């Protein structure tokens, strides 16, 4: 009797692990479909009418949950891809993927810090919404605490990568469709044991007399140029992964540290002077720091790297471009938003009212205006 009960308990305890294993297997075999479902759920939370008023916390909880689940799925997909044999037909990883995969595999501390940072970014707006219900003082304490933790994580990443600039996001992104990868693996395994082609086959493959394996026919003449171009290696392709970003020192390192600390300084300024939404002091301080860091970093690149800005790697140019575009969000913050952007958006939404389809777009813009008016993290980019 006792043994039966023990077996029953053991079986019950093993069920969650079995269910988790089945779920992981399903995700890795249907990565493309799972990704589409994630995108659909994210889009749904963006366009739910009245999202940021009556149901703001519920909607943001769904959005944050989808983001965290997507992060978990990324780790599952990456684990399976790492076990696949390298093949010539698989597209090469992007510089961002190579760089982040290198550091996540070489440094467990980097992976933990990057994962912590990513999880905070996915849930920061939700925490602010919850804190706002406890009052403005609690809300600003939570905002400054979150920005401080994020800055500590980024400074830690800067230290772990030997003073290399941060990349966004700090973890590898999902790149490869697992269904295609699995089909590729199965085809590779099939070709390894493929028998010689039949005599009546129209295939122009040639069978090797000793091994009895067959070589495929040559590609069409018109496809040769495209094939060769796709195999051309660039300078970044042959560089070690960690060399895709130059180390910074001196004024370059100062620029990166100030760039990391800028959100903390801006949040502190908003808490001090934010009672007057039209006060330009927080906006000028935050924007001035970010713009100054960008110019200082560019100056360091020109003086220290051979060829100046032209000598930057593809990953450095990509990150510089991302940071440039993110500066556009300053139009949605502080006094600039209150003085210029908000009145312009209000005029646009007023004109859209009563117009089919455009009326729906206008109502969504109004919902986002409520978000931009009341929450700090709605326009955070770092």
Looking at the fold, whether 103 and 77 belong to one and the same domain comes out as no
pLDDT tens profile 294-305: 999 999 999 988
Per the structure, how many domains does the chain have? 2
Least confident range from 32-46, 56-70, 217-231, 234-248: namely 217-231
| Count of other CB atoms within 10 angstroms of residue 337 | 22
Same domain, 253 and 328: yes
pLDDT digits (tens, 9 = 90+) for 307-359: 888 889 999 999 999 999 999 999 999 999 999 999 999 998 888 888 888 88
Range of the domain at 138: 95-176+244-332
Confidence of residue 54 (pLDDT cuts 50, 70, 90): low
Indicate whether 42 belongs to any domain.
yes
Query: Using 50, 70 and 90 to split pLDDT, how confident is the model at 209?
Result: confident
If asked whether residues 77 and 99 sit together in one domain, one would say no
Is residue 202 over pLDDT 50?
A: no
Of 66, 85, 104, the residue at which a domain comes to its end is: 85
Residue 359 lies in a domain: no
Instruction: Among 43, 66, 85, give the residue marking a domain's end.
Output: 85
User: Given a cut of 70, is residue 182 above it in pLDDT?
Assistant: no
Co-location of 54 and 100 in the same domain:
no
CA 218/CA 224 separation, integer angstroms:
9
φ, ψ at 51 (rounded to 5°)? -55, -40
Place of tokens 């990443």: 157
Residue 256 lies in a domain: yes
Same structural domain for residues 70 and 106? no
Is the pLDDT at 287 greater than 90, yes or no? yes
Using CA atoms, how far residue 87 sits from 30, 127, 198, 278, 361, in Å, is 21, 44, 27, 58, 46
Q: Does residue 63 surpass a pLDDT of 90?
A: no
pLDDT tens digit sequence for 1-32: 556 556 654 554 456 677 777 877 777 777 77
The pLDDT value recorded for residue 50 is: 47
* pLDDT higher than 50, residue 196: no
Token duo for residue 269: 């300024």
The DSSP-derived string for 267-327 is HHHHHHHTTSTT-SHHHHHHHHHHHHHHHHHHHHHHHHSTTGGGG--HHHHHHHHHHHHHG
Residue 112: CA count within 13 A, CB half-sphere: 6
Residue listed under structure tokens 């090469």: 92
d(CA 253, CA 335) in angstroms, rounded, equals 30
pLDDT at 19: 77
Contact present, 179 and 30 (Cβ < 8 Å) = yes
Same domain, 26 and 172: no
- Closest to 263 (Cα-Cα) out of 370, 154, 160, 162: 154
| CB-based burial label for 83 (10 Å; 0-12, 13-18, 19+) | exposed
Cα–Cα distance, 262 to 269 (Å, whole number): 11
pLDDT (tens digit, 9 = 90+) per residue, 244-286? 999 998 999 999 999 999 999 999 999 999 888 889 999 999 9
pTM of the model: 0.82
221 in a structural domain: no
- Do 18 and 167 have their domain in common? no
- For the segment 89-131, what is each residue's pLDDT rounded down to a tens digit? 566 788 999 999 999 999 999 999 999 999 999 999 999 999 9
198 band by pLDDT with thresholds 50, 70 and 90: very low
Q: Is residue 143 part of a domain?
A: yes
The pLDDT value given to residue 351: 87
Where a domain ends, among 55, 85, 115?
85
Render pLDDT for 233-242 as a digit per residue (tens, 0 to 9).
677 777 888 8
């Amino acid at each position: 009797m006792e043994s039966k009960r023990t077996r029953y308990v053991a079986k019950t305890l093993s069920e969650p692990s079995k269910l988790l294993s089945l779920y992981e297997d399903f995700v890795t075999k249907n990565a493309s479909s799972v990704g589409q479902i994630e995108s659909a759920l994210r889009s749904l939370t963006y366009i739910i009418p009245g999202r940021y008023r009556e149901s703001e916390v519920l909607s943001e909880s769904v959005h944050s949950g989808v983001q965290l689940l997507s992060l978990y799925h990324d780790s599952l997909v990456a684990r399976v891809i790492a076990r696949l044999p390298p093949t010539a037909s698989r597209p090469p990883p992007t510089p961002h993927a190579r760089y982040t995969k290198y550091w996540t595999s070489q440094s467990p501390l980097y992976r933990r810090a990057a994962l912590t940072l990513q999880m905070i970014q996915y849930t920061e707006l939700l925490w602010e919404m919850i804190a706002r219900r406890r009052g403005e003082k609690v809300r600003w304490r939570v905002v400054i605490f979150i920005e401080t933790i994020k800055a500590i994580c980024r400074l830690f990443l800067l230290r772990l990568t030997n003073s290399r600039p941060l990349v966004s996001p700090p973890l590898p992104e999902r790149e490869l469709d697992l269904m295609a990868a699995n089909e590729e693996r199965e085809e590779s395994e099939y070709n390894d044991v493929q028998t010689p082609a039949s005599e009546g086959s129209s295939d122009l493959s040639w069978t090797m007399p000793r091994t009895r394996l067959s070589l495929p026919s040559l590609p069409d003449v018109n496809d040769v140029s495209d094939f060769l171009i796709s195999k051309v290696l660039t300078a970044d392709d042959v560089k070690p992964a960690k060399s895709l970003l130059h180390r910074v020192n001196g004024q370059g390192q100062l620029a990166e540290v100030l760039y990391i600390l800028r959100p903390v300084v801006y949040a502190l300024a908003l808490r001090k002077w934010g009672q007057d939404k039209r006060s330009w002091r927080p906006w000028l301080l935050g924007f001035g720091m970010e713009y100054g860091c960008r110019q200082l970093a560019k100056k360091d690149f020109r003086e220290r790297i051979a060829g100046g800005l032209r000598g930057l790697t593809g990953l450095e140019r990509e990150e510089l471009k991302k940071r440039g575009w993110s500066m556009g969000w300053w139009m949605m913050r502080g006094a600039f938003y209150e003085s210029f952007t908000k009145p312009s958006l209000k005029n646009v939404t007023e004109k859209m009212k009563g117009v089919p389809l455009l009326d729906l777009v206008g109502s969504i813009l109004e919902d986002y205006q409520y978000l931009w008016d009341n929450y700090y993290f709605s326009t955070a980019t770092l």
